[in-house]
Structures are given as C-alpha cells and as structure tokens.
Amino acid sequence: GAVVSQHPSWVICKSGTSVKIECRSLDFQATTMFWYRQFPKQSLMLMATSNEGSKATYEQGVEKDKFLINHASLTLSTLTVTSAHPEDSSFYICSARDGRIAHEQYFGPGTRLTVT
Amino acid sequence: DAKTTQPNSMESNEEEPVHLPCNHSTISGTDYIHWYRQLPSQGPEYVIHGLTSNVNNRMASLAIAEDRKSSTLILHRATLRDAAVYYCIQTYNFNKFYFGSGTKLNVKP
C-alpha cells in the first residue's frame, strides 16, 4: 500500500525557536497533502491543505504566519512551526492524496513536538 | 467541521463480531464515507470506504443505510489488535477530512 513518512518522529525545542517537519510520499505522487494537529486525548484537527506548487489553504483559526507550509514537489511537503511556544506542543500528522485515486488519503506516522 | 456522530466508546469480546455505528445525516449524494482507525501515538490507518453500496475488504465490512444517513463498520472477529479509536469521516469540499471524536473500541480477551 501507499506509504507516507514523516521526519522527525519526535522533536524537543526551546521556546522561541522554529521547527521544520517533513512529510514524504514514498511510492506515489501526492498532488495534495494535508496537515493535522492532535492534542492528547483529542481528535485530529485539520490545519491546512497544500497543493504542489501553490500556496497552502489554512483552516479557520490557524495562523498561516506561524505554521508555514511548503509543498515544493509531488513527494514532499514541509510544516515549519515558527517561534514555537509550549502551547504548540502537540502531535502533528500529515496525509497525502494520490492524484490517481481521488478519495484516498494516506497518513504519516506523526511527529511529536515538545516545546520547553 | 465534523459532520458525523459516533458513540464515545464500545467494548467487545475477542473473536466476536463488532458493529460500530456512525450517523451522517447531512450527507450529500457525492459524499463518501471513510473509516480510519488510530492506535496511540500513531497516524490513522485506512480501514474501508464506500459511497452507496455495502463494501467488504479483508479488514472489515461497511454497511450503508439505504438513505445513506448512517453506516455501520463491521469487524467480523475482533482481535486484541483491533483495539483502537475508530473514526467515521464524511468527505466533502475537495476531499478534506474533518475528524469527529471517534469511537474508542476496547477488546476484552
């Protein structure tokens, strides 16, 4: 089946620094990638949608200047959390949609971010 | 926003069938129903999806009501590895997934 990877799997950073999370589709071309955030014991919350070569579309309430998304190729999207604060600590999950199978999304394993 | 409602939790005995219900009363004609499950600290895993007809795969079966306002995920023989949070997702608006609270399935040995 389709595989999506994320790097790093976990990261600890100091408050005020920026952190970049990578999401890669390993065996298919992802025309669209999605980024989610999940707090402990809560469901996944969609943050933004990114299409290859164009600007990301952010969900209401998500700060686009804080969560920078780049989707420069059909296999890679990155999420940069800028000036991270402890409240940004969360589980960040990406998913990718195969352009040939419109209704399927394949999820990455997630990245645990802890801001101290 | 999520458009589906599911029970918060369910319990099953190992090797018995499990029926996980989902209500999606606002579904439109072109919306698909997807089911994913998630283990702690992992990304969601695809289970099954359907549009109008009942669907079967090696993991589960999906029974969709005739009016499409509800569906049921059926695990034919629950195992301990099936213990997870199961999400029912109604897709619309360029196939974005808006997750509801899901059903936490506990499987007893």
User: DSSP E strands: which ranges in A26-115?
Assistant: 30-38, 45-51, 57-58, 67-73, 76-81, 90-98, 105-107, 111-115
Give yes or no for A105 touching B (CB within 8 A): yes
pLDDT at residue A12 tops 80:
yes
Residues of A in contact with B41 (CB under 8 A): 91, 110, 112
In angstroms, the CA A86 to CA A38 distance is 14
Please give, rounded to a whole number of angstroms, the shortest distance from the CA of B97 to a CA of chain A. 7
Inter-chain residue contact B46 with A106, CB threshold 8 Å: yes
Of the partner residues A6, A46, A107, the one whose CB lies closest to the CB of residue B96: A46
In angstroms, the CA A70 to CA A50 distance is 8
* Token code pair at residue B47: 């289970």
Determine if residue B58 is left, alpha or beta; phi over 0 gives left, psi from -120 to 50 gives alpha, anything else beta: alpha
- Pick among A107, A111, A114 to test the B interface (most B CBs inside 10 A): A107
In angstroms, the CA B8 to CA B49 distance is 21
* Token code pair at residue B78: 């629950």
pLDDT tens per residue across span B14-70: 999 999 999 998 888 888 999 999 999 999 999 999 998 899 999 999 999 999 999
Position B61 scores a pLDDT of: 97
Angle formed at CA A68 by CA B98 and CA B2, multiple of 5 degrees = 10
Distance between first and last Cα of chain B: 36
Of the partner residues A91, A97, A112, the one whose CB lies closest to the CB of residue B95: A97
